[in-house]
Amino acid sequence: MDHRISGTDTAEHYTWGGVCDGWHLLKDATLSVIQERVPPGAGEAAHFHSRARQFFYVLSGTATMEFEHEAVTFAAGRGLHVPPGTPHRFVNRSDADVVFLVISSPTTAGDRTNLPGTTPPHTEEK
């Protein structure tokens, strides 16, 4: 059994959208835990996952999750569940970095469908 402690100083790091950071705190086929940092004005393309459910938990800053017909804004200490098949887009509309955890079960690797015509500047392309 693996009992290693994981943090941003030891986890696998990646960048997306040219300005955002991510750290794989737990990278498993059945469960993924990623810490991400998204600067002001940045966000990802609208997309959905067929199998994975996700939970976004804000550690600092204020995030906005855009859905088809609404946007939900939530701050540090709050989380939001996104069920499989739900089109969504994470964006930082504030003037400070957003740092958050995104927990996915199972992993989103190979389970992402971007929606056409929704790629804003500084977006995730992975």
Structure confidence by residue, pLDDT tens digits, 74-114: 999 999 999 999 999 999 999 999 999 999 999 999 999 99
**Does residue 121 have a pLDDT over 50?**
no
Distances (CA, A) of 108 to 9, 38, 61, 72, 82: 23, 19, 24, 22, 12
Q: How many CA atoms lie within 13 A of 24 on its CB side?
A: 13
Q: Is the pTM of this model over 0.85?
A: yes
Check residue 118 and give its pLDDT.
62
Neighbouring C-beta atoms of residue 34, cutoff 10 Å: 21
**12-110: CATH topology:** Jelly Rolls (2.60.120)
Structure confidence by residue, pLDDT tens digits, 32-79: 999 999 999 999 999 999 999 999 999 999 999 999 999 999 999 999
Yes or no: say if 24 and 35 are a contact pair by the CB < 8 Å rule. Answer: no
Question: What confidence tier does 125 reach under pLDDT thresholds 50, 70, 90?
Answer: very low
For the chain, give the number of residues: 126
Classified as helix, coil or strand, 101 is strand
| Average pLDDT rounded to a whole number, residues 27-33 | 96
Measured at the CA of 79, the angle between CA 33 and CA 95, to 5 degrees, comes to 95
